Chains A and B, each alone.
Chain A
Amino acid sequence: MPVWNRGTRGIRGLSRAVALEGSQKKGRSLLQFLADRFYDVQALREYLLQKQVLKVHQKNRPFTYIKERFGPHAAGAYFILKQGGAVKFQGKEWIRSDAHGHFSLDFLKFQAVPVEAVDASGCAINYQGLDSLLALKELQSLWLQRCPHVDDWCLGRLHPLANSLQELSLAGCPRISERGLASLHHLRNLRRLDISDLPAVSNPGLTRILVEEMLPSCQVLGADWAQGLPSGPEEQSQDRASPIPA
């Protein structure tokens, strides 16, 4: 098979035959080194990705010991504080973890005091971690702004909080689309819903109207209904008048 072998040998020969100087040569040989070990580099990248995924899973593990010993509210609060969020018990102040991730464990003494509000903005909560949140039966306010792993499947799980939840914020979550928002109709007591700035929603203005129809007693904060509509006649004539940009 002289044709094929000559081909590949030719490419390698070419890379060695071309004269390069200094750092360019070093850079080239590093790339050549990596390219020769393509499958090893791929395996390393996959391993690093798996480690990242495992890290998120580890953050969302269930805290069964705390739940059995101190009750579901304390377990939920511990979970949120560990992730870097903030928790407000009924009648108490907001408890937040500091810059190093440390927080006081005083709340474990509140035996049956329910959690009223949870601020989980930016936390790495995922589908599994929602188990800890769903145990908070008297939660009134839930803020999930900019959570990178909250997606449509998670929204489908929020229905156990229907009796108590009054305020929900999903602003800036990159994985939420209008399909997940359709499952919010279970939350009959919802009074404030923030669905602004959702990049995965295909038609934000229309989605806001449809969600408003779905939840009649809820105030929906979202995209302006006129967003996405074609521009009016005044704007069009302006374009025609000044074709050359300033």
Chain B
Amino acid sequence: MLRRALQLGLGRGLLGRGLLGRGLGTHRGGSTLGKVEGSGGYRGSWVAPVSSYVTFRTRDPAHDGKTVGRLGEGDQNGKVSEIKKKIQSVLPGGAWNPPYDTSYLPPEHSDVVIVGGGVIGLSVAYWLKRLEKPRGAIRVLVVERDHTYSQASTALSVGGIRQQFSVPENIQLSLFSEYLAVVDDPPLDIQFNPSGYLLLASEKGAAVMESNVKVQRQEGAKVCLMSPEQLRNKFPWINTEGVALASYGMEYEGWFDPWCLLQGLRRKVQSMGVLFCHGEVTRFVSSSSHTETTSGEEVTLKRIHEVHVKIDRSLEYQPVECALVINAAGAWSGQIAELAGVGKGPPGTLQGTKLPVERRKRYVYLWHCPQGPGLETPFIVDASGAYFRREGLGNNYLGGCSPTEEEEPDPGNLEVDHDFFQDKVWPPLAQRVPAFETLKVRSAWAGYYDYNTFDQNGVVGPHPLVVNMYFATGFSGHGLQQAPAVGRAVAEMVLDGHFQTINLSPFHFSRFYLGEKVQEHNII
């Protein structure tokens, strides 16, 4: 009889636990909002802790008759910590294996987290997987907010690749871009047009162009300088009025389809075992430590421990424990850097130096001109900054122009301003190529440059204070052609601690604090 009463009492206790269990269950940050398949499984999962809760109650004869709820006595201490762990595990962020499908969540631990899945991020992932020893040593996670790449600079790019830069490191970077032709199995066709770049210079810019060509030739680029006379012989449809000198790149220059490269890289990188997550980075959890430099100054070093990845169209997030974070977020890298605490400090100090990468909107127009230049048209960049190239076989051309600092359009959206074509792009191009007097604009789009306001060159390498965040961003419109080389350099930095194939130390973050500009003059 007494036993019967005890069992009944314990049964009520069971009910009490069950209710409490359900109450705790609904606190799981909003994931009941539809991602979970059937709340039956939910309730089922709650049986486990409850039943084990009850079982060791009945097995302990010393505590017969006591009501449930008494914890922390004698040999129950180990069991108590187990229960606490179980309760903690069902709160958001716990290490619990739920019975419903969680494949949309990123893993809980990852060695490297790459923020941004564009061509730079995928290139870093590719080289990390290719250079790692042994195979499968590193777990790499690529977090990309938009799997349609609707606003990614890679997909909206015009796709040019050239050797004609003015800084030796940039030229070397572009020379390495021949890796684009040998991306591994299956053979990737990026639709490369080896038609070359033709840069035109007026009287003012002729001397600068000559010195640039000298630097380029030293690095091995095949560039030839042409006078207006030679230009007319070669391309009779150009009006050489106002042109003093032209530099024509003969090899490894032209344009390709960036979408092909992006998809090819994605496929290759997935086959190598890189994990992808469709989500947004919302928070970095880091720890700081104070040390002294050799000159006795106090510095605060930060180390990122966790990356909170918020799943798309949901309130659910997953904290990913990581060893390294690579900021390859392109036009949005400034925001990611702010999340990590870069730039939070008094201005003028290293702590207060922000990442000077911001979004700038650029327009690209596609037009049709039936009498336009033929198959041999290179990628022409006029002295005024307007550029165009041939697109396909049907007399279509792609082109645009970079606006001056005063006329920078608002980067809040990707709307196209067609008046910009009428006022700023068409007149110089029509003057340069008289056939373009009659043309018809077929379509236009806008994309972002991850514009480095400091010196329009990329930022590559770790941050001096946030020790495990690496930058690979800020290429101001040239990231696509520099992606393979930058990916390799960052992978070498991560795996070996220093650059091996190309030395990209001039592009370190500290130059923003020290004020050493690596100015690139040939920016389109």
Known: A3-B99, A49-B185, A156-B254. A180 touches B194 (CB 8 A): yes
User: Is B408 interfacial (CB-CB < 8 Å)?
Assistant: no
Q: Are A186 and B185 in contact (CB under 8 A)?
A: no
B97 is an interface residue with CB less than 8 A from chain A: yes
Can you list 25 A-B pairs, Cβ within 8 angstroms, ordered by A?
Answer: A1-B97, A3-B99, A4-B99, A43-B135, A152-B192, A153-B181, A153-B252, A155-B194, A156-B254, A157-B251, A159-B251, A177-B191, A178-B375, A179-B192, A179-B193, A179-B194, A179-B254, A182-B194, A182-B375, A183-B194, A186-B250, A210-B374, A210-B393, A211-B375, A214-B374
> Top 10 A-B pairs ranked by shortest CB distance?
A156-B194, A185-B376, A179-B193, A182-B375, A210-B375, A183-B194, A214-B375, A153-B181, A214-B376, A182-B195
Query: Taking the complex as formed, is A127 at the interface, i.e. its CB lies under 8 A from any CB of chain B?
Result: yes
In the bound assembly, the distance between CA atoms of A155 and B135 in angstroms comes to: 37
In the bound complex, CA of A151 to CA of B188 (Å): 12
Q: A125 near B: Cβ within 8 Å?
A: no
B118 within 8 A of partner (CB) = no
Which residues of A from 2 to 51 have beta carbons under 8 Å from B?
3-4, 43, 46, 49
Is the beta-carbon distance between B99 and A185 smaller than 8 angstroms? no
A213 at the interface (CB under 8 A from B): yes
In contact, B97 and A181 (Cβ under 8 angstroms): no
B116 is an interface residue with CB less than 8 A from chain A:
no
- If over half of B's interface residues share one DSSP class (helix, strand or loop), that class is named, otherwise mixed; here it is loop
Minimum distance in angstroms from B158 CB to a CB of chain A: 15
Task: Identify 13 new A-B residue pairs, CB closer than 8 A, beyond the known A153-B178, A156-B251, A183-B193.
Answer: A46-B185, A127-B178, A152-B194, A153-B181, A156-B194, A179-B193, A181-B375, A182-B195, A183-B196, A185-B376, A207-B393, A213-B374, A214-B376
Residues of A within 8 A of B135 (CB): 43
Please name all residues of chain B whose beta carbon is closer than 8 Å to the beta carbon of A156 when the two chains form the complex: 194-196, 250-252, 254
Q: Residue among B191, B196, B376 with the most chain A CB within 10 A?
A: B376
Chain A contacts for B393, CB-based, 8 A:
178, 202-203, 206-207, 210
* Closest beta carbon of chain B to A2's beta carbon, Å: 8
Interface size class, chain A: 20 to 34
The interface bits of chain A over 63-74 (1 if a CB of B lies within 8 angstroms of the residue's CB, else 0) are: 000000000000
Interface residues on B, range: 20 to 34
The secondary structure that dominates the A interface is: helix
**How many Å lie between the Cα of A185 and that of B236 in the bound state?**
13
Q: Which residues of A contact B252 (CB under 8 A)?
A: 153, 156
- A65: shortest Cβ distance to chain B, in Å? 23
Question: How many angstroms between the C-alpha atoms of A178 and B463 in the bound complex?
Answer: 45
From residue A201, how far is it (CB to closest CB) to chain B in Å? 10
Q: How many A-B residue pairs have CB under 8 A?
A: 67
In the complex, are the beta carbons of A213 and B375 less than 8 A apart?
A: yes
**Nearest CB of B to A175, in Å:** 8
Segment 209-223 of A: residues with Cβ below 8 Å from B? 210-211, 213-214
Q: Is the CB of A185 within 8 A of B194?
A: no
Among A49, A177, A183, A185, max chain B CB count under 10 A is at A183
Complex alpha-carbon distance, A177 and B191, angstroms: 9
B113 CB, min distance to chain A CBs, angstroms:
24
Chain A CB count within 10 A is highest, among B97, B185, B252, B390, for B185
Do A152 and B193 have beta carbons less than 8 Å apart? yes
Which residue of chain B is the closest to A154 with respect to CB atoms?
Answer: B194
**In the docked arrangement, what's the CA distance between A180 and B251, Å?**
12
- Bound complex: CA A191 to CA B384 (Å): 38
Bound form: Cα–Cα A215–B226 in Å: 20
Q: Is there an interface contact between A179 and B250, defined as CB atoms closer than 8 Å?
A: no
Q: How far is the CA of A164 from the CA of B185 in the complex (A)?
A: 37
Q: Which listed residue, A153, A157, A182, touches B376 by the CB 8 Å rule?
A: A182
Q: Which of A3, A156, A214 has the most CB of B within 10 A?
A: A156
- Shortest Cβ distance from residue A203 to the other chain B in the assembled complex, whole angstroms: 6
**Contact between chains at A179 and B191 (CB < 8 Å):** yes
What are the residues of chain A within 8 A of B375 when measuring CB–CB?
178, 181-182, 185, 210-211, 213-214
CB-contacts of B188-220 with A (<8 A): 191-196
Chain B, 150-196, CB within 8 A of any chain A CB = 178, 181, 185, 191-196
Which residue of chain A lies nearest to B180 when distances are taken between CB atoms in the complex?
Answer: A153
Task: Give the distance in Å from the alpha carbon of A68 to the alpha carbon of B293 in the complex.
Answer: 55
A residues near B374, Cβ cutoff 8 Å: 210, 213-214
CA gap between A3 and B40 in the complex, in Å:
13
- Give Cα A206–Cα B192 distance, bound, in whole angstroms: 19
Q: How far does the alpha carbon of A49 sit from the alpha carbon of B184 in the complex, in Å?
A: 10
- Indicate the member of B135, B194, B390 with the most A CB atoms within 10 Å: B194
Instruction: Name the distance in Å between A166's Cβ and chain B's nearest Cβ.
Output: 19
* B192 lies within 8 A of A153 (CB): yes
Give chain A nearest CB distance to B190 CB in angstroms: 10
Q: How far apart sit A181 and B376, CA to CA, in the bound complex (Å)?
A: 9
**Closest CB in chain A relative to B305 CB, distance in Å:** 29
User: In the complex, A203→B394 CA distance in Å?
Assistant: 11
Among residues of B, the one whose C-beta sits closest to the C-beta of A3 is B99
User: Which residues from chain B contact A206 at a C-beta distance below 8 Å?
Assistant: 393
By the criterion CB–CB under 8 Å, are A1 and B251 in contact? no
Residues of B258-294 contacting chain A, CB below 8 A: none
Q: In the complex, A159→B191 CA distance in Å? A: 20
Q: Smallest CB-CB separation from A149: which chain B residue?
A: B187
**Chain A residues with Cβ under 8 A from B181's Cβ?**
127, 151, 153
Contacts of B376 in A (CB 8 A): 182, 185, 214
Q: Which residue of B lies closest to A203 (CB)?
A: B393
> With A and B bound together, what is the CA distance between A237 and B252 in angstroms?
51
Q: Which residues of A have CB within 8 Å of B97?
A: 1
For B97, the closest partner residue in chain A by CB is A1
Q: Which of chain B's residues have a CB closer than 8 A to the CB of A185? A: 375-376
Contacts of A202 in B (CB 8 A): 393
How many angstroms between the C-alpha atoms of A124 and B193 in the bound complex? 22
Cα-based distance from A46 to B135 in the complex (angstroms):
13
A183 to B248, CA, bound (A): 13
Q: Which residues on the B side are within 8 Å of A127 (C-beta)? A: 178, 181
The CA-CA distance from A182 to B192 in the complex, in Å, is 11
In chain B between 86 and 100, which residues have their CB closer than 8 angstroms to a CB of chain A?
97, 99
A residues less than 8 Å from B390 (CB atoms) = 182
Contacts of A1 in B (CB 8 A): 97, 99
- Looking at the assembled complex, report how far the CB atom of A53 sits from the nearest CB atom of chain B, in whole angstroms: 8
Tell me, in angstroms, the Cα distance from A5 to B374 when the chains sit together.
64
The residues of B that contact A186 with a CB separation of less than 8 Å are 250
**A52 to chain B: closest residue by CB:** B185
Considering the chains assembled together, what is the distance between the CA atoms of A127 and B194 in angstroms? 13
Q: How near does chain A come to B220, taking the closest CB pair, in angstroms?
A: 13
**With A127-B181, A207-B393, A213-B374 as given contacts, are A183 and B195 in contact (CB-CB < 8 Å)?**
yes
With CB as the reference atom, state the residue of chain A lying closest to B192. Answer: A152
Chain A contacts for B251, CB-based, 8 A: 156-157, 159
In the complex the two chains form, what is the Cα distance from A211 to B178 in whole Å? 26
**A43, A127, A153, A207: residue with the most chain B Cβ atoms closer than 10 Å:** A153
By beta carbon, the residue of chain B nearest A207 is B393
User: Smallest Cβ distance from B388 to chain A, in angstroms?
Assistant: 15
- What sequence of 0s and 1s flags, for each residue 383-397 of chain B, a beta carbon within 8 Å of any chain A beta carbon? 000000010010000
